[in-house]
A = this chain, B = another copy of it.
Amino acid sequence: MTKQKATNVTWQDGEVSRQDRFTILNQRGATIWFTGLSGSGKSTIAVALEQALYRIGKLSYRLDGDNVRLGINKNLGFSEEDRKENIRRIGEVAKLFGDAGVISLSSFISPYKADRDEVRELHENAGLEFIEVHVDCSLAVAEERDPKGLYKKARAGEIKNFTGIDDPYEAPASPEIHLHTDQTTVEQEVQIILDHLADNGFIVPPHVDEAAAL
């Protein structure tokens, strides 16, 4: 490319850097990875967090079953191999979003430690932040909520290999954030995550008046 004459604009030869994108967005890209039982509250928190980030002008994007299982992972089933590949691809997509500057919010049960650790490693190798959020509640509470009626089906044997019933959930040993959704409100949970993002420099803390409005 032809070298530009000196100007007062930010032209540079070569590629726009990750830091350049973070500057445009006034935020740092990161992956917020919600993991927990079905019914633990992952999607509810992700939707509320997305709203809270939007209110302070931050760009986030939710990755969930709706836009992933029906899209990039539509050729995957539920075999052990495919479930592993499902998480791997989501992790790779999240990594690209983080590199682009977006705060992605992934809501998948992602029950296996090895799979989550692989996604963590992908991020760390790329110099990107992986914020694992354990959305924790007792199986009894999750099953009581049963927002999609899945536990009922699993108990009736209509769904096999259902996490918590006949498939294990491997809890994170040291997640960046550990929420107990049977003890806190969604608003409190969102605030815990916002505080983490602000304390670690991903977002500029909201002004006092904005914070008061949250």
A interface vs B, CB < 8 Å? 1-2, 7, 9-12, 14-16, 20-21, 24-25, 44, 47-48, 50-51, 54-55, 57-63, 67, 71-72, 75, 85, 89, 92-93, 95-97, 99-102, 122, 185-187, 210, 213
Contacts and interface: CB of A to CB of B under 8 A. Distances in A.
A187 B5 CA distance: 14
A92 B72 CA distance: 5
Contact of A9 (B10, B92, B95, B213): B213
Give this chain's copy count: 2
Contacts of A72: 72, 89, 92-93, 96
A59 B101 contact: yes
Shortest 3 CB-CB distances between A and B: which pairs? A72-B92, A61-B100, A71-B92
A48 B102 CA distance: 22
Given A9-B55, A61-B21, A15 B100 contact: no
18 contacts: A1-B44, A2-B186, A9-B55, A10-B55, A12-B51, A16-B51, A24-B54, A61-B96, A61-B100, A63-B96, A71-B92, A71-B122, A72-B72, A72-B96, A75-B85, A89-B89, A93-B93, A97-B97
